[in-house]
């Protein structure tokens, strides 16, 4: 991208600054490359860019209600992928009782987001309690199991053939968003030692190259007495994220990047003050993200840019079409009726196109593509 020719051009009526002080009666649309990092242009339209009256074809935006999925089996590998490609796989798994076996992912790192519940993770590196709102990042081929204190629902994000790393904070510095000091790791405590001493056979169910292998041991292989190094399981709760914000400018989703993997990024939207400058947009801008598929998992709160979206739902916007706030959200933003957001959501932006699994009837809201219809007035 370094060799691109870049120079500013202007035609007709336009805003001097993106996302601020739009021409009267206009709707702004950002056309961008490389997510929100590459060359971009801003169009100013008379009508909402999402104001289509009909949609034919498979590229449509989709909304999935994971609350309607059938209950999977007792192993994480019983949960089938919902969205997937060669670099990324999304599953939703529920655990109600202590796992009687270990699992190991030989296909890539796992990022587990705890949507509901709390419990304890036992893994090669030790014991780690967790609760609702935690990210648990497990290096590839880590053996693990959980003992829930209450029913647990996990969004499982696999970095297929890849690893997770922290996002580059740029000029904000490495302590921005969250200080690495808030990251927790497992410990070899007394409870870990006790579980390792329990007699009997243990199975490790290894997923590798998309196939399952069952490895049986005459002892519990989670029996480490010590370890050292800089590779381990990590825990981060969304409540420890302190988002970048500007009272005069609506920041793009990339400002909320949490974890980075090969060909995709995970962002976290957490409560923050709304923009207070009269000329600044108060909701996400209409945009074409023509190099990435955008997926959002809605965890909790009032999702200010969406209508009829509840906790536990997933939206998927394949690359190649314009999307943005729903009409009610846009109207509320224009009226500046809210002072802060209260949503918590996990966004996954995938460089490679995603595929949708065959889902049971009722999981997809097929009317979602029509949810942008309705009268909307520009500022």
Catalytic residue among 42, 250, 256, 317: 250
At 369, give phi and psi (nearest 5°): -60, -25
CA angle 201, 207, 212 (to 5 degrees): 75
Q: Is 247 assigned to a binding site?
A: no
Is there a catalytic annotation at residue 250?
yes
Spatial contact of 137 and 157, defined as CB atoms under 8 Å apart: no
Q: Tally DSSP H helices, then E strands, for the chain.
A: 2, 22
How far, in whole angstroms, is CA 29 from its chain's centroid? 23
Name the 3-class secondary structure at 283. Answer: coil
Spatial contact of 23 and 279, defined as CB atoms under 8 Å apart: no
How many CB atoms neighbour CB 146 within 10 A?
24
DSSP state of 49: T
Q: Is 293 assigned to a binding site?
A: yes
Q: Is 78 assigned to a binding site?
A: no
Question: What is the C-alpha separation between 32 and 22, in angstroms, rounded?
Answer: 18
Binding site for homogentisate: residue ranges?
Answer: 323
Binding site for Fe cation: residue ranges?
Answer: 287, 293, 323
Query: Which residues participate in catalysis according to the annotation?
Result: 250
Binding site: residue ranges?
Answer: 287, 293, 323
């Amino acid at each position: 991208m370094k060799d691109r020719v870049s120079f500013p051009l202007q035609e007709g009526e336009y805003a001097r600054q993106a996302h601020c002080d739009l021409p009267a009666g206009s709707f702004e649309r950002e056309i961008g490359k490389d997510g929100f990092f590459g060359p971009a242009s801003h169009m100013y339209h008379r009508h909402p860019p999402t104001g289509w009256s009909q949609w034919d074809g498979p590229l449509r935006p989709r909304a999935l209600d994971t609350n309607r999925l059938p209950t999977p089996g007792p192993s994480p590998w019983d949960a089938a992928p919902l969205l997937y490609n060669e670099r990324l796989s999304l599953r939703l798994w529920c655990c109600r009782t202590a796992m009687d076996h270990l699992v190991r992912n030989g296909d890539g790192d796992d990022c587990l987001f705890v949507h509901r519940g709390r419990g304890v993770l036992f893994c090669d590196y030790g014991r780690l309690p967790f609760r609702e709102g935690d990210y648990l990042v497990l290096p590839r081929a880590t053996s693990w199991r959980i003992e829930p204190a209450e029913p647990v629902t996990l969004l499982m994000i696999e970095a297929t053939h890849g690893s997770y790393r922290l996002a580059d904070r740029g000029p904000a510095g490495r302590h921005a968003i969250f200080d690495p000091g808030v990251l927790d790791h497992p410990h070899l405590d007394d409870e870990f030692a006790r579980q390792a001493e329990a007699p009997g056979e243990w199975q490790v169910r290894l997923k590798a190259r998309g196939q399952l292998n069952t490895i049986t041991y005459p002892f519990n292989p989670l029996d480490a007495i010590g370890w050292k190094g800089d590779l381990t399981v990590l825990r981060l709760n969304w409540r420890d994220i302190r988002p970048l914000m500007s009272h005069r400018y609506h920041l793009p989703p990339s400002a909320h990047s949490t974890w980075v993997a090969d060909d995709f990024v995970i962002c976290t939207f957490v409560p923050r003050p709304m923009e207070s400058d009269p000329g600044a947009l108060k909701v996400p801008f209409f945009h074409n993200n023509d190099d990435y598929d955008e997926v959002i998992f809605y965890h909790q709160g009032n999702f200010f840019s969406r209508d009829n979206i509840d906790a536990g739902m997933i939206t998927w916007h394949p690359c190649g079409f314009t999307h943005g706030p729903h009409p009610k959200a846009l109207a509320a933003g224009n009226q500046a009726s809210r002072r802060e957001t209260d949503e918590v959501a996990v966004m996954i932006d995938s460089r490679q196109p995603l595929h949708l699994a065959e889902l049971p009837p009722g999981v997809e809201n097929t009317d979602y593509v029509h949810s942008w219809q309705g009268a909307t007035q520009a500022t």
